Amino acid sequence: MKKLYGFLLLFVLALVLAACSSDSSGDGGDSDSGDGESADKKVEIFSWWTGAGEEDGLLALIDLFEKKHPDIKIENAAVAGGAGTNAKAVLATRMQGDDPPSTFQVHGGDELNEGWVAAGKMEPLNDFYEENGWMDKFPEELIDLVSKDGEIYSVPVDIHRGNVMFYNMKVFEENGIEVPKTFDEFFTAADKLQAAGIKPLALGDKEAWTATQIFENVLLGVLGPDDYKKLFEGEIGFDDARVKEAAEKFSKMLDYINDDHASRNWQDSAQLVADGEAAMINMGDWAKGYFSNDLNLETNKDFGYFEFPSTDGEFVVITDTFGLPKGIENPDDVKEFLKVLGSVEGQDAFNPLKGSIPARVDADKSKYDKYGQETMEDFKGARLVPSLAHGSAASEGFLTKVNQAVNIFVTQRDIDNFIKALQNAAPEM
């Protein structure tokens, strides 16, 4: 019997130990990332880059860094799934528990500024930018996007464009359609396609952001870049007559979409364009990678692209950036990583693989394909505006509510209700 008690005691002890040690190992593992007391230096990179091209890009970047700094080890802490939703949930938990990763992926704009910067969790990087002479290497409007109250908070690594229409060239040719530059031209072309039995516009809004993306581009087309920005800064109200006009145009565009839009995600809807069942799709230019890599279509032969109607010379920016969280133990090592990330070499290692263009204006063009080169050229001269659908123009809270309003609007088409929902959500911006 004594044996049994001894055993039991051991068991309880083991449990207690396990509980404690899991605590401390948790701490240890986490402070590891911040490089606690361990002798070797470590930088933990937190992202949601686990897809085909993007992961290759990240690994190339890590490779480059480790060649330059063999003494610093990189820990790739990518969280898969949900287009970053899962990663963001993990990040939020870690930040709230004062256990930030060394550096993490965050979209430039309000996701950074109204999220982590407003929460007081980020270090300003102005001196770091000055040291590296970066102030004129990134476009001014892009630096604005990662700044709050004159302080810069992160380093952009890539640029995607949101106001692009991809189209099936064969379908356009067969129906004698010119690339539409204005809304009127778009609607005329759409009517013609509709009459020919082809769905003019493909949409897959199983996740609502795809529809929100169309709406934001219509807003940009109607308001122009300056007032578009003012709208999301709260200087223009959502009761503005032009917002209503945009909603009407948006509604009219929705008349031309495929019936089964609610059952498709964006890839499924891009497939419609690839198969020639639909003619056009508005999608960020990651769709280009999908067309050429996944569907083996040829750029400018099978599919083409043009700027969303009335947004010529404007560039809806979606940019992934990395910053320096407060409270990490080896900020200098992390800065070394950010330095590589912001260098021409780093950006040219990452972006061709991911299919995005570099955030710097002085990158090596020859490393990019034709679409990339053209977009880089546009990027230099264009007016840059933040994307709403990707969390740059307004807070995640506002975006969630807009997505809900858009989801309802796509079915109900009640413009007054829609405007009211936007107005109600506006304080969350």
Partner 1 sequence: MAENTQTKRKKRFTKDQWTAIAFLIPSIILILVFVYGFIGWTGYVSLSNWNTLVPDFSFAGLKNYIYLFNDFRFQADLRNTLFFTILFIGFVIILGMGLAILIDQKLKGESIFRNIFLFPMALSFIVTGVVWQWLLNPSTGFNQFLSMFGIEPKWYTDTNILAGFEWGSIEFGLPVAIIAVVIAAVWQMTGFSLAMYLAGLRGIPDELREAARMDGASEFQVYRKVVLPMLLPITMSVIIIMAHISLKIFDLIYAMTGSGANFVTDVPGVYMFETTFRGNYYANGAAIAIIMLLLVAVFIVPYLWNSRKGDN
Taking the complex as a whole, the smallest distance from the CB of residue 289 to partner 1 amounts, in Å, to: 24
How many Å is the Cα radius of gyration of the chain? Answer: 24
Q: For partner 1, which stretch binds (CB under 8 A), given 29-37, 83-91, 222-230, 287-295? A: 83-91
Work out whether the CA dihedral 258, 263, 268, 269 comes out positive or negative. Answer: positive
DSSP codes joined into one string, 185-225: HHHHHHHHHHHTT-EEEE---SSTHHHHHHHHHHHHHHHHH
Q: For partner 1, which stretch binds (CB under 8 A), given 49-57, 87-95, 135-143, 182-190? A: 87-95
Question: Angle 144-305-271 (CA atoms, 0-180°, nearest 5)?
Answer: 110
Whether residue 157 contacts residue 320, with contact meaning beta carbons closer than 8 Å, is answered with yes
Q: Which two tokens stand for residue 251?
A: 């509604």
Size of the site for partner 1 (CB under 8 A): 36
Name the residue nearer to partner 1 (CB basis): 257 or 341: 257
Q: What does the alpha-carbon distance between residue 229 and residue 319 come to, in Å, rounded to a whole number?
A: 16
Binding mask 192-211 vs partner 1 (x if CB under 8 A, - otherwise)? -------------xxxx---
Name the residue nearer to partner 1 (CB basis): 20 or 135: 20
DSSP codes joined into one string, 58-106: HHHHHHHHHHH-TTEEEEEEE--SGGGHHHHHHHHHHHHTT---SEEEE
In the block, tokens 């999220």 appear at 115
Residue 416 in the binding site for partner 1 (CB under 8 A): no
DSSP codes joined into one string, 129-140: HHHTT-TTTS-H
Q: Which member of 22, 38, 182, 263 binds partner 1 (CB under 8 A)? A: 263
Q: What does the alpha-carbon distance between residue 69 and residue 51 come to, in Å, rounded to a whole number?
A: 26
Binding mask 92-121 vs partner 1 (x if CB under 8 A, - otherwise)? x--xx------------------xx-xx--
Name the residue nearer to partner 1 (CB basis): 261 or 354: 261
Whether residue 379 contacts residue 139, with contact meaning beta carbons closer than 8 Å, is answered with yes
Taking the complex as a whole, the smallest distance from the CB of residue 131 to partner 1 amounts, in Å, to: 30
Name the residue nearer to partner 1 (CB basis): 95 or 376: 95
Taking the complex as a whole, the smallest distance from the CB of residue 9 to partner 1 amounts, in Å, to: 9
Binding mask 14-53 vs partner 1 (x if CB under 8 A, - otherwise)? -x--------------------------------------
419, amino acid identity: I
Taking the complex as a whole, the smallest distance from the CB of residue 15 to partner 1 amounts, in Å, to: 5
Whether residue 393 contacts residue 216, with contact meaning beta carbons closer than 8 Å, is answered with yes
Q: For partner 1, which stretch binds (CB under 8 A), given 39-47, 81-89, 137-145, 151-159? A: 81-89
Residue 427 in the binding site for partner 1 (CB under 8 A): no
Name the residue nearer to partner 1 (CB basis): 12 or 20: 12
Q: For partner 1, which stretch binds (CB under 8 A), given 64-72, 254-262, 292-300, 303-311? A: 254-262
Q: Which of 421, 386, 406, 424 is CA-nearest to residue 107?
A: 386
Q: What does the alpha-carbon distance between residue 346 and residue 354 come to, in Å, rounded to a whole number?
A: 13
Binding mask 370-409 vs partner 1 (x if CB under 8 A, - otherwise)? -------------------------xxx-xxx--x--xx-
Taking the complex as a whole, the smallest distance from the CB of residue 136 to partner 1 amounts, in Å, to: 32
Q: For partner 1, which stretch binds (CB under 8 A), given 1-9, 28-36, 61-69, 212-220? A: 1-9
Taking the complex as a whole, the smallest distance from the CB of residue 81 to partner 1 amounts, in Å, to: 11
Q: For partner 1, which stretch binds (CB under 8 A), given 82-90, 175-183, 302-310, 320-328? A: 82-90
Taking the complex as a whole, the smallest distance from the CB of residue 102 to partner 1 amounts, in Å, to: 19
Residue 89 in the binding site for partner 1 (CB under 8 A): yes
Whether residue 383 contacts residue 141, with contact meaning beta carbons closer than 8 Å, is answered with yes
Q: For partner 1, which stretch binds (CB under 8 A), given 130-138, 151-159, 235-243, 410-418? A: 410-418
DSSP codes joined into one string, 359-391: SSSSS-GGGS-HHHHHHHHHHHHSEEEE-TTTT
Query: Taking CB under 8 A as the criterion, which residues in 208-247 touch partner 1?
Result: 208
Strand 72-78, strand 41-47: pairing: parallel
Q: What does the alpha-carbon distance between residue 324 and residue 371 come to, in Å, rounded to a whole number?
A: 32
Whether residue 115 contacts residue 106, with contact meaning beta carbons closer than 8 Å, is answered with yes
Q: What does the alpha-carbon distance between residue 50 and residue 76 come to, in Å, rounded to a whole number?
A: 10
| First and final C-alpha spacing in the chain | 68
Task: Give me the phi and psi of 70, to 5 degrees please.
Answer: -65, -20
Name the residue nearer to partner 1 (CB basis): 87 or 317: 87
Q: Which parts of this chain interact with partner 1 (CB under 8 A)?
A: 1, 4, 8, 12, 15, 85, 88-89, 92, 95-96, 115-116, 118-119, 205-208, 259-263, 395-397, 399-401, 404, 407-408, 410-412
